[in-house]
Each structure stands twice: as structure tokens, then as C-alpha cells.
């Protein structure tokens, strides 16, 4: 192999998905890695879940006598795991599971810890298939091995019920021609030593669809921008940007806005929060003492650890409970489970901490209510107690969604954002 090939950065499966999101972001990652890392946002890590699911997927293909995760080199088998492939033009990838058929063709298996299949998974599988065929390995069928969303953990773990094999050959073949062209263009981009670094295609995308390096390529307002409009659609964003409108305070009256968007723009124009005092007072007057401020911490895994739980189901293992009495006295109770095999300890402590009178206050109440319904399903003897908690639940976040709108919050109503109102409180110290 020509040593000059190594001067060009290899294109991996992860790189290819990044290219599809923003080509310039991929170029920055490969040619200016320090700058890329400065802007890259931390992502949710599912490495342990990914490893665990792949381990069980591999065991489905192994001889029951084998206790190895990978076969030894001299083990006769038609299945390979974690096979690394490189092509002469600069593609590098690992194949999760590769199975050889009797006719010499291969079946490709992509293993995912997810319970659903999205468009990126299809493109990733297509990338893998094309890589195999560039290495002169003919692919017959392509599958995704995913977590079965209907699986329920029993006392005896059943890995064959945990996973399911989904054929995606046709979907992969349907996008093959386009994917081959995209791979060709991505490789051509990586061979460029320099690109025009002003602006990227994410300028026209909503905030959740932008690349991590958006600020590197685009000189746009960092606060109170039109990208912060709540639930703004791309069509409306294009209308604004086509007219060179980037700041909230510059949004004209002829642009149709939702109620939430209108008040956020108004807050930016008036440079102060929009406060609906009467609505807030009306909401707070519905509360009954004592006030219970409840917050759960949960764990969710692809392979459920709790008997009766489903994959990725959020299972509470800790709670914090502040109790404010009518006279102003404040108590605090908490519980931290020392095991991940059940939530009975959480329920027992909660049952002994909350009386039958008083409002239960949370931030983003649908989450706490979901946790209560989940625990009620796992432990029916607590079902009525948990249903009563849900009936008495008050969502404090609603006030900041409907009655306290501040453009300084950037369109967010998260607790971390709204904590700015408490000047002596930092979310990092909570």
C-alpha cells in the first residue's frame, strides 16, 4: 500500500455521520482537532450499554460450549466479531458481526443498544456494506440487532428475548447509490488542506440540528438570537434569515409568531422579563401546606437490571425531599439505594416521608409522574399511594413556561437556566 495514503485522514462510520450533518465540521475535526475539541459538546455516553448489548449479541452466534466473547484464531467458525476493515481509498471501520453464508456471500449485522431504528442507523449500515464490497466481500443481507422494546426482565435472564434481528437489506440498497456518492465527496473533502471557514450549512438549521462547531464557522449573536425562539420551524427561520434578521429584538411585526415566541421577542425588545403576576398568584394559591419539593434521580439501561423493568425504562434509585411547613419550618429527607436490583427501598422511604395532605412540587412534573407510574407497575402494593402523589403534583416549571418569560433564558425553562433568578444559588452546587 502506498504510504502516501496515510497522509489523508481515514473516514470512519462516525465521521461519515458527522459529514452528513455538517461537512465543514468533519473537516475541522480531521485537520484542526484542537479547535474541534474546543467546540465539541459532551454527549450522552452509552458505551457500557453498547458493550453489554454487543456481548449478548455475539453469544447468540457462538457455540454454547464457548465462553469467549471472541473466538480464538484457530476456532472453526463462519462468524467474525469486531472485524476491522480498511480500504485503499481511505475508509476505516469495524464490523460488529460478519457471517459467511454457504455460497460465499456475507450477512452484515449492526448491533445497536436502541429499541428503535432511525435514519442514521440505515446510513451507517450502508456505509459498512459499501466498505465490505470495496474489500471484495459480497454482501447478501443486512440486519440490525436491536433491543426488543417489549422485553420484560424476569428472574431468569433470557438474552434471546432481549434482542431481535431486523432485516434492513432493502432499505440499505435503496440508499446505496446516494451513500456511495456521499462517501466519495467526504473523502474528497478530507483531501483538501484548506477550506473556506466562514459560514456552514447549519446556519439555516434549527438549534437542535446544528453542528457542535456552529460558533466556529458562524459569526452570529451568542444570546437573544432567532435560533432561540421556542419550537421555531426551519421555514420560519429561513424567512427571518433571508431578511438578515438574527436578533430577537429585530423581528418585525409582520412575522407570525406563537404566543411563547411573541413574549420572548417582546422580552428582548423591552429588555426585561414578561411577568404575569396575577396568573402566578392564582397558580400558587392552589397549593396546600405542607409543601413537598420532590426530585428523583434515575437510572436507565439497555439491559434492565430490575425484575419487571423494560429496556431504557427510568428506574428511581434516589430522591431528595424538602418539606416546607406553613409556619416556615423546613425539613429535608432523602434516600439513596445501595443496589440497582429494585426500588422497594425508595418506595418504603418515600411512603414514610409524605403524608396524605399537602402539595407535591416538582420541576417538569411529567418526569416525576412517569417515575411514580413505573414504580407502581413494579410494586402494585404502592400503586394507590403513588397515584395520590401524582394527583397532588404541581409543576413549578409551568410558571416559567407561561407567566415568567425572559429572553435572557435563551428559550429554555430548565431548572439550571431559571436558577439565575436566585443570585446566591448555583446549579453546580446543588
Backbone phi, psi, residue 220, to 5°: -120, 165
Residue 411 forms part of a structural domain: no
CATH number at residue 358: 3.30.420
Residue with cell 434482542: 163
Do residues 339 and 373 share a domain?
yes
Do residues 304 and 356 share a domain?
yes
Number of structural domains found in the chain: 3
| Euclidean distance between CA atoms 410 and 44, whole angstroms | 22
Do residues 160 and 47 share a domain?
yes
On average, the pLDDT of the chain sits at: 91
Last residue of a domain, one of 158, 190, 222: 190
Residue 108 pLDDT level (bands cut at 50, 70, 90) = very high
Do residues 30 and 153 share a domain?
yes
Average pLDDT of the residues in 20-38 = 97
| Euclidean distance between CA atoms 33 and 201, whole angstroms | 20
- Residue 193: count other Cβ atoms within 10 Å of its Cβ: 5
Do residues 165 and 124 share a domain?
yes
- Which pLDDT score, from 0 to 100, does residue 63 have? 53
Do residues 39 and 141 share a domain?
yes
Residue 160 forms part of a structural domain: yes
Q: Given a cut of 70, is residue 5 above it in pLDDT?
A: no
Could you tell me which of 387, 340, 396, 339 has the C-alpha nearest to residue 363? 396
Percentage of residues of the chain with pLDDT beyond 70? 92
Do residues 53 and 81 share a domain?
yes
- Cα 389 to Cα 323, 324, 329, 358: the distances in Å are 14, 16, 22, 10
- Which pLDDT score, from 0 to 100, does residue 67 have? 40
CATH number at residue 49: 3.90.320
Residue 235 forms part of a structural domain: yes
Residue 412 forms part of a structural domain: no
| Euclidean distance between CA atoms 218 and 206, whole angstroms | 14
Lookup: cell for 188: 474528497
Q: Given a cut of 60, is residue 7 above it in pLDDT?
A: no
Average pLDDT of the residues in 402-430 = 81
The rounded Cα 276 to chain-centroid distance in angstroms is 33
> Which tens digits make up the pLDDT trace of 66-104?
443 344 444 445 899 999 999 999 999 999 999 999 899
> Which tens digits make up the pLDDT trace of 171-202?
999 999 999 999 999 999 999 999 999 999 99
Residue 297, sorted as left (phi over 0), alpha (psi -120 to 50) or beta, turns out to be beta
**What pTM value is reported for the model?**
0.88
| Euclidean distance between CA atoms 87 and 372, whole angstroms | 52
- Which pLDDT score, from 0 to 100, does residue 2 have? 43
Residue 404 forms part of a structural domain: no
Do residues 135 and 43 share a domain?
yes
Last residue of a domain, one of 138, 163, 190: 190
| Euclidean distance between CA atoms 184 and 178, whole angstroms | 10
Do residues 250 and 311 share a domain?
no
Domain span at 299: 282-398
Cβ contacts of 430 within 8 Å, gap of 6 or more: 419
Last residue of a domain, one of 143, 159, 190: 190
Residue 218 forms part of a structural domain: yes
> CA angle 200-203-208, nearest 5°?
115
| 85 in Cβ contact with 95 (< 8 Å) | yes
Residue 156, sorted as left (phi over 0), alpha (psi -120 to 50) or beta, turns out to be beta
| 312 in Cβ contact with 300 (< 8 Å) | yes
Lookup: cell for 116: 428503535
Lookup: cell for 124: 451507517
Do residues 332 and 254 share a domain?
no
Residue 162 forms part of a structural domain: yes
Percentage of residues of the chain with pLDDT beyond 90? 83
Residue with cell 504510504: 3
Average pLDDT of the residues in 3-17 = 76
| 186 in Cβ contact with 30 (< 8 Å) | no
Q: Given a cut of 80, is residue 342 above it in pLDDT?
A: no
| 96 in Cβ contact with 109 (< 8 Å) | yes
Residue 164 forms part of a structural domain: yes
- Which pLDDT score, from 0 to 100, does residue 179 have? 99
The H-or-E segment that residue 19 falls in is helix 13-21
Cβ contacts of 24 within 8 Å, gap of 6 or more: 195, 197, 200, 201, 211, 213, 217
Backbone phi, psi, residue 135, to 5°: -95, 15
Do residues 138 and 169 share a domain?
yes
Do residues 255 and 298 share a domain?
no
Strand order, beta sheet including 163-167: 79-86, 92-100, 106-111, 139-147, 163-167
Could you tell me which of 416, 417, 407 has the C-alpha nearest to residue 224? 407
Q: Given a cut of 50, is residue 60 above it in pLDDT?
A: yes
| Euclidean distance between CA atoms 299 and 297, whole angstroms | 7
| Euclidean distance between CA atoms 233 and 408, whole angstroms | 21
Q: Given a cut of 70, is residue 322 above it in pLDDT?
A: yes
Q: What is the DSSP string of 192-237?
A: -S----S--GGGGS-GGGS-TTHHHH----SSSBGGGSTT--HHHH
The H-or-E segment that residue 37 falls in is helix 33-39
Amino acid at each position: 500500500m502506498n504510504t502516501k495514503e496515510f497522509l489523508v485522514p481515514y473516514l470512519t462510520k462516525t465521521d461519515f455521520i458527522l459529514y452528513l450533518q455538517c461537512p465543514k465540521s468533519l473537516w475541522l475535526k480531521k485537520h484542526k482537532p484542537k479547535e474541534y475539541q474546543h467546540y465539541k459538546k459532551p454527549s450522552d455516553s452509552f458505551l457500557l450499554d453498547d458493550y453489554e448489548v454487543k456481548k449478548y449479541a455475539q453469544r447468540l452466534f457462538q457455540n454454547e460450549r464457548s465462553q469467549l466473547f471472541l473466538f480464538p484464531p484457530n476456532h472453526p467458525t463462519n462468524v467474525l466479531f469486531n472485524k476491522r476493515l480498511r480500504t485503499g481509498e481511505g475508509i476505516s471501520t469495524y464490523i460488529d458481526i460478519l457471517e459467511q453464508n454457504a455460497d460465499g456471500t456475507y450477512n452484515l449485522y449492526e448491533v445497536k443498544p436502541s429499541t428503535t431504528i432511525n435514519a442514521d442507523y440505515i446510513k451507517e449500515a450502508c456505509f459498512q456494506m459499501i466498505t465490505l464490497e470495496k474489500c471484495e466481500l459480497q454482501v447478501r443481507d443486512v440486519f440490525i440487532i436491536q433491543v426488543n422494546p417489549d422485553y420484560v426482565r424476569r428472574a431468569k435472564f433470557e438474552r434471546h428475548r432481549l434482542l431481535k434481528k431486523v432485516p434492513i437489506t432493502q432499505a440499505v440498497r435503496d440508499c446505496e447509490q446516494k451513500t456511495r456518492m456521499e462517501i466519495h465527496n467526504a473523502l474528497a473533502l478530507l483531501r483538501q488542506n484548506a477550506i473556506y471557514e466562514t459560514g456552514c450549512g447549519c446556519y439555516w438549521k434549527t438549534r437542535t440540528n446544528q453542528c457542535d462547531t456552529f460558533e466556529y464557522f458562524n459569526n452570529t449573536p451568542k444570546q437573544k438570537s432567532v435560533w432561540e425562539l421556542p419550537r421555531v420551524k426551519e421555514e420560519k427561520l429561513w424567512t427571518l434569515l433571508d431578511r438578515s434578521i438574527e436578533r430577537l429584538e429585530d423581528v418585525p411585526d409582520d412575522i407570525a409568531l406563537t404566543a411563547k415566541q411573541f413574549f420572548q421577542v417582546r422580552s428582548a425588545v423591552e429588555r426585561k422579563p414578561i411577568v404575569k403576576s396575577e396568573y402566578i398568584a392564582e397558580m400558587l394559591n392552589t397549593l396546600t401546606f405542607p409543601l413537598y419539593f420532590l426530585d428523583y434521580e434515575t437510572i436507565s439501561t439497555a439491559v434492565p437490571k430490575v425484575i419487571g423493568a423494560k429496556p431504557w425504562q427510568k428506574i428511581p434509585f434516589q430522591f431528595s425531599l424538602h418539606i416546607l411547613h406553613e409556619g416556615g419550618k423546613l425539613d429535608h429527607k432523602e434516600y439513596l439505594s445501595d443496589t440497582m436490583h429494585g426500588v422497594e427501598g425508595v418506595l418504603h422511604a418515600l411512603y414514610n416521608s409524605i403524608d396524605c395532605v399537602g402539595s407535591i412540587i416538582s420541576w417538569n412534573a411529567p418526569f416525576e409522574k412517569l417515575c411514580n407510574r413505573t414504580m407502581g407497575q413494579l410494586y402494585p402494593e404502592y400503586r394507590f399511594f403513588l397515584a395520590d402523589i401524582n394527583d397532588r403534583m404541581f409543576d413549578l416549571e409551568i410558571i416559567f413556561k407561561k407567566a415568567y418569560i425572559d429572553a435572557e433564558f435563551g428559550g429554555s425553562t430548565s431548572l439550571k437556566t431559571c436558577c439565575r433568578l436566585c443570585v446566591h444559588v448555583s446549579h453546580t452546587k446543588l
